């Protein structure tokens, strides 16, 4: 039986059964170009090393068999930027030195196969199933072949809490939703739980709400009614429920 848990104060989930996996999403290597377009400037040479260092420390602590990347490893959508040609292979090389790496491509990962070393496992962009859990980026609708699952873990939406008078305004959060399974898989009954992970890249939405553009997921768009939801900070504090879900996704 698979168990899931959140790594304290980190945007990382542990999925543990016979093997131990770390789940990470939305790293967005090469994001500096889009940030600069919003007049937000970050020292580009330091961020890739910082991302590798932060993830390496978590791997050293948790000692997983593998890391599962739920897409958007790179940041540009249709092309490969100059930064990405150098930094994406470096990222995979350094992380592969510590554990196996599995990649489920996201909508920003076009042509990423040109950057991925041979020793990295690339899955379909529709996702992969571990027992009763579908792991997917979140930009595509799950196939009926996955309809036996009762949990979905996804990224793509980069949930962030916005409330200007709050001390956690602009911080990344976890979102857990329970809804009727037939919303996602029309021929099935019962309940399904959807966990939306925060982006690993802490800079990606370090901006004001007016510059924040929400992503759209066909999975979430199919949900007619949420029976129960939780909004959880990185340190594990529950700060919201189904009544304020639209604040974060």
CATH code (residue 160): 3.60.21
- Name the domain count of the chain: 1
* pLDDT > 50? residue 39: no
CB atoms within 10 A of CB 173: 24
Domain of residue 160: give its range. Answer: 3-247
CB atoms within 10 A of CB 150: 14
> What whole-number distance in Å separates Cα of residue 78 and Cα of residue 116?
16
> What whole-number distance in Å separates Cα of residue 29 and Cα of residue 75?
6
CB atoms within 10 A of CB 45: 11
Mention every residue, 6+ apart, whose C-beta is less than 8 A from residue 1.
17, 131
What is the reported pLDDT for 100? 98
Question: What average pLDDT score do residues 123-139 get?
Answer: 96
Q: Quick one: pLDDT band at residue 127, thresholds 50, 70, 90?
A: very high
What is the reported pLDDT for 168? 81
Question: What average pLDDT score do residues 93-108 get?
Answer: 97
The H-assigned helical ranges of the chain are: 32-37, 44-62, 82-96, 218-221
> What whole-number distance in Å separates Cα of residue 33 and Cα of residue 42?
10
Q: Give the mean pLDDT of the chain.
A: 89
Question: What average pLDDT score do residues 19-30 get?
Answer: 96
Q: Quick one: pLDDT band at residue 36, thresholds 50, 70, 90?
A: very low
* pLDDT > 70? residue 145: yes
Question: What average pLDDT score do residues 190-209 get?
Answer: 82
- Who wins on pLDDT, 131 or 79? 131
- For the record, the structure tokens of 133 come out as 């859990």
Q: Quick one: pLDDT band at residue 12, thresholds 50, 70, 90?
A: very high
Question: What average pLDDT score do residues 11-23 get?
Answer: 97
126 phi-psi bin (left φ>0, alpha ψ -120 to 50, beta other): alpha
What's the Cα-to-Cα distance from 180 to each of 151, 161, 223, 228, rounded to whole Å?
Answer: 12, 25, 8, 10
> What whole-number distance in Å separates Cα of residue 95 and Cα of residue 100?
8
């Amino acid at each position: 039986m698979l168990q899931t848990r959140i790594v304290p104060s980190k945007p990382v989930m542990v999925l543990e059964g016979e093997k131990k996996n770390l789940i990470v999403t939305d790293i967005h290597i090469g994001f500096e170009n889009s940030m600069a377009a919003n007049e937000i400037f970050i020292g580009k040479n330091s961020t890739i090393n910082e991302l590798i260092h932060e993830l390496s420390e978590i791997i050293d602590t948790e000692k997983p068999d593998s890391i599962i990347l739920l897409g958007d490893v790179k940041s540009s959508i249709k092309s490969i930027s100059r930064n990405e040609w150098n930094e994406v292979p470096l990222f995979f090389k350094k992380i592969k030195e510590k554990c196996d790496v599995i990649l489920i491509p996201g909508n920003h990962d076009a042509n990423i196969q040109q950057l991925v070393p041979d020793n990295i496992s690339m899955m379909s962009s529709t996702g992969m199933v571990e027992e009763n859990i579908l792991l997917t980026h979140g930009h595509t609708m799950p196939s009926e072949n996955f309809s036996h699952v009762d949990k979905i873990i996804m990224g793509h939406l980069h949930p962030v809490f916005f409330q200007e008078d709050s001390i956690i305004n602009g911080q990344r959060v976890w979102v857990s939703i329970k809804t009727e399974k037939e919303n996602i898989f029309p021929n099935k009954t019962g309940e399904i739980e959807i966990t939306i992970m925060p982006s690993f890249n802490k800079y990606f939405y370090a901006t004001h709400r007016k510059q924040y553009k929400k992503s759209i997921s066909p999975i979430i768009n199919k949900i007619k009614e949420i029976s129960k939801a939780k909004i959880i900070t990185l340190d594990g504090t529950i700060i919201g429920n189904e009544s304020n879900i639209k604040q974060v996704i």
